[in-house]
Amino acid sequence: MGIFNLFRRHQEDTATARKARLLRTGRIAEGSIFDVGTDETGAVTHIFYHYEIGGAEYESSQALDDEQRLRLSDFAPGSRITLRVDPRQPTNSIVV
């Protein structure tokens, strides 16, 4: 281990840590779903959505977690959704 590694900030950038941080500090915004992704059985596993922050439009996608898969009717194309957005980096968002 080099001397510089002692002073380097170690950031945990896992999906779980990112989601927890956005749920805690993210700005609430609204968006809408424009497409869904399915697995080989036809079950919805991903959503594709867009939203607008500060006059700029963004598109993103997210794999649905187990709790979200219980509410599939909330994630049909055209549905309005609530999401959390990092105010310093609006490309970073999660659907809640």
Rounded to 5 degrees, what angle do the CA atoms 8, 10, 64 make?
A: 150
Instruction: Give residue 90's domain range.
Output: 31-96
Looking at the 3D structure of the chain, how many domains does it have?
1
| Residues in Cβ contact with 81 at an 8 Å cutoff, skipping those fewer than 6 apart | 30, 31, 32, 33, 47, 49, 74, 75, 95
Q: Residues 49-66: what's their mean pLDDT?
A: 95
Q: What is the pLDDT of residues 31-53, one digit of tens each?
A: 999 999 999 999 999 999 999 99
**Which pLDDT belongs to residue 18?**
86
Residue 24 lies in a domain: no
- The confidence band for 14, taking pLDDT boundaries of 50, 70 and 90, is confident
For residue 6, being part of any structural domain is answered with no
Domain annotation covers residue 72: yes
The average pLDDT across 73-87 equals: 95
Backbone angles phi, psi at 43, to 5 degrees: -75, 140
- Asked if 44 contacts 37 with a C-beta cutoff of 8 angstroms, the reply is yes
Q: Is 49 contained in some domain?
A: yes
Q: φ, ψ for residue 50 (rounded to 5)? A: -135, 155
Q: For residue 78, what pLDDT is reported?
A: 97
Q: Which pLDDT score, from 0 to 100, does residue 10 have?
A: 56
The pLDDT of residue 16: 84
Does residue 59 form part of some domain? yes
Q: For residue 68, what pLDDT is reported?
A: 93
15 in a structural domain = no
CA-closest candidate to residue 36, choices 68, 3, 8: 68
**Residue 17 resides in a domain:** no
What pTM did the predictor assign? Answer: 0.81
The answer to whether residue 3 scores a pLDDT higher than 80 is no
